[in-house]
Structure 1
């Protein structure tokens, strides 16, 4: 539970697909009609998380597992009238915590790159980077995206992927380094 007592973050179900699509439909600066239909399909095929207020879905995040240790947030959105109130932040923090507890090490998200110069997505990019996501690549065209819409590939590490206790004591000095 986050925020007011009427606000709740919960695991979504395929039954929430229509509500997720409705939210995206209300955000025409961000989602094309084709993207809305993809969200509807993804909400039934992949695990959604939703935020409800008074029992009504007001935000969603759709996550696809990429094996045991990685996941991608396929899409996430908050109703236009509720943006800027911390709902998206609470949702993403909850999703990342759930993924971390499930053993996920890395989470990827794609958004329109700042190079596109599209103000609504500049704010989206800042949202993700403010939550610890690191821009690791830009792809244009990304398969499934229109050319000229560069995709920023952002990644967040939820746990260490190298090192760990068994390696922390095995320091490699220049003498021990293998020859090149």
Structure 2
């Protein structure tokens, strides 16, 4: 596995991965993802042949001391195979090197009871993120899909 940074050339493969994860990405999410793939720093975990995107992460600096993960996805068993954790570790280290001290992301709150999102929230918690707020309704999200704002000190 290789991690490549700011590789816009993999945008279509990131979009394809997101489309395959229908339980996580809906039509509105895809519009936001396309904006992130265009505007944010993109990290892609690739298989050794560089043909398949195993996971991707979009990172945006929100100010001099903070960065936000705007999109983060990995296919199926890749969460536990290490691609997602390696990707997150690399992006966090790069953000810290550039002066960020706080990394944030938004995840669906586990209280919604939707299991695919629970697994993603659990993964983020294992990586050191803590929930600091739960917002429902969250602007731009479907009602009943509460947003857990999660942060990690770098």
Q: Does TM-score exceed 0.5, indicating one fold?
A: yes
1:42 to 36, 44, 52: 36
Aligned partner of 1:96 in structure 2 is: 92
Give the TM-score normalised by structure 2: 0.93
Q: Is the 8 A contact 1:114 1:122 kept in 2?
A: yes
Q: Give the Cα–Cα distance (whole angstroms) in 2 for the partners of residues 110 and 138 of structure 1.
A: 9
Q: Within 5 A, what are the aligned runs for 1:5-20?
A: 7-20=1-14
Equivalent residue of 1:135, what SS?
strand
- Deviation by residue 1:75-126 (Cα, 9 ceiling, x = unmatched): 1111236342111011111111111111101111110101101111111111
Does the CA contact (< 8 Å) of 1:16 and 1:43 recur in 2?
A: no
Determine which structure has more spread, i.e. the larger CA radius of gyration: 1
Runs (4+) of structure 1 exceeding 4 A deviation are none
Structure 2 unaligned blocks of 5 or more: none
Contact kept in structure 2, 1:64 and 1:73, CA below 8 Å: yes
1:111 aligns to what? 107
Give the whole-Å Cα distance in 2 for the aligned partners of 1:113 and 1:28. Answer: 18
TM-score (ref. length: structure 1): 0.80
Higher strand fraction (1 or 2) = 2
Larger RCO, structure (CA 8 Å, separation 6 or more)? 2
Aligned length: 152
Asked whether 1:27 is paired with 2:6, we answer: no
C-alpha distance in 1 between matches for 2:90 and 2:148: 23
What is the match of residue 141 of structure 2?
Answer: 145
Q: In the alignment, which of 46, 54, 59 is matched to residue 55 of structure 2?
A: 59
Q: Could you list the runs of 5+ residues in structure 1 that have no partner in the other structure? A: 1-6, 159-180
Mapped pair 1:131 → 2:127: yes
